[in-house]
Amino acid sequence: MTLPIQVLSPLDGRYQAVVSPLGEYLSEAGLNRARVTVEVEWLIYLTNHSMFGTSPLSADNVSALRALVTDFGQAEIDELARLEATTRHDVKAVEYLVRAKLSELGLDHIAELTHFACTSEDINNLSYALIVRDATKNIWLPALQAVIARLRELSVQYRDEAMLAKTHGQPATPTTMGKELAVFVYRLERIQKQVEGSEYLGKFSGATGTFSAHLAAEPEANWPKISEEFVTSLGLTWNPLTTQIESHDWQAELYTRISHANRVIHNLATDIWTYISMGYFRQIPQAGATGSSTMPHKINPIRFEN
């Protein structure tokens, strides 16, 4: 018997309810919306600067183009899927979606500026930077801040709750539960500040990072300056020197910091497990919950108390 359609990852299965807010940004639809953002804003930038014989668009046309982003929904998702079935190219499908909007607005005369001098990486690297930035700032950081706030609250609540510390597994000097939790508050706050200070870099310099097509089209323009202005207008940090691709060092830095935070929280979990095993905390059973196959049902924990 064939199974019903199944998700491939626990992130879309048992943990879907926890991670679903990230789908607003990190899903394929979120990425495509960001790609539309970059394509639309590049068109607006070019026309605002009257490049290639154009003139600034009317406020109504600018609003209508940006509505392709703000109103991005199921209709656009479906249309991009239809276009990509023919193009076999996700970025090209986005370009065609934007061109169709231009035609709808009677702006066919600037259609050829859509995706002007861009390699797919120009669109993609900026789009990834946008969605990772927004997911980090709007979803991940608030979740981390909530963890820190709760730990700070508990550290104050239990600041006078004495407990015997151990070193090398042996009894050592006294401490308090509040102090031990405050250790994690301090560690996580340092990482929070590092993540908050992260840069999100973007390049916009053509097929090999040399502005070749740009210079061929308009030799007199200051393309590095234009590139910097456009990238920073998106709220990103300009990367002036790249190959075809943005080097992604900022991603390695950010993901290392996020991994570090996860590791600190894992340390907290193992410490709490140790306190339970030493009898400092008592596990509180939940009806119907089971743990290990060899763990008696009656001591399976979900919460703890001291």
For the chain, the straight-line distance linking the first and the last C-alpha, in angstroms and rounded, comes to 51
Query: Residue 296 has what pLDDT?
Result: 56
pLDDT at 300: 46
Residue 172 has pLDDT above 60, yes or no: yes
From the list 126, 94, 122, 95, the residue with the least C-alpha distance to 245 is 122
pLDDT of residue 287: 84
Report d(CA 16, CA 19) in Å as an integer.
Answer: 5
State how far Cα 113 lies from the chain centre: 29
Return the pLDDT at 285: 80
Over residues 243-259, the pLDDT tens digits come to: 999 999 999 999 999 99
Q: What is the CA radius of gyration of the chain?
A: 26
- Render pLDDT for 52-109 as a digit per residue (tens, 0 to 9): 999 999 999 999 999 999 999 999 999 999 999 999 999 999 999 999 999 999 999 9
pLDDT band at 302 (very low <50, low <70, confident <90, very high): very low
Contact 11, 5 (CB under 8 A): no
Question: Could you tell me the domains of the chain?
Answer: 21-116 (1.10.275.10), 118-280 (1.20.200.10)
Position 305 pLDDT exceeds 60: no
- Averaged pLDDT, 107-120: 96
DSSP-assigned beta bridge partners for residue 282? 305
User: Which residues are catalytic, by number?
Assistant: 168, 292
- At 295, is the pLDDT very low, low, confident or very high (cuts 50, 70, 90)? low
Q: Whole-number mean pLDDT of the chain?
A: 93
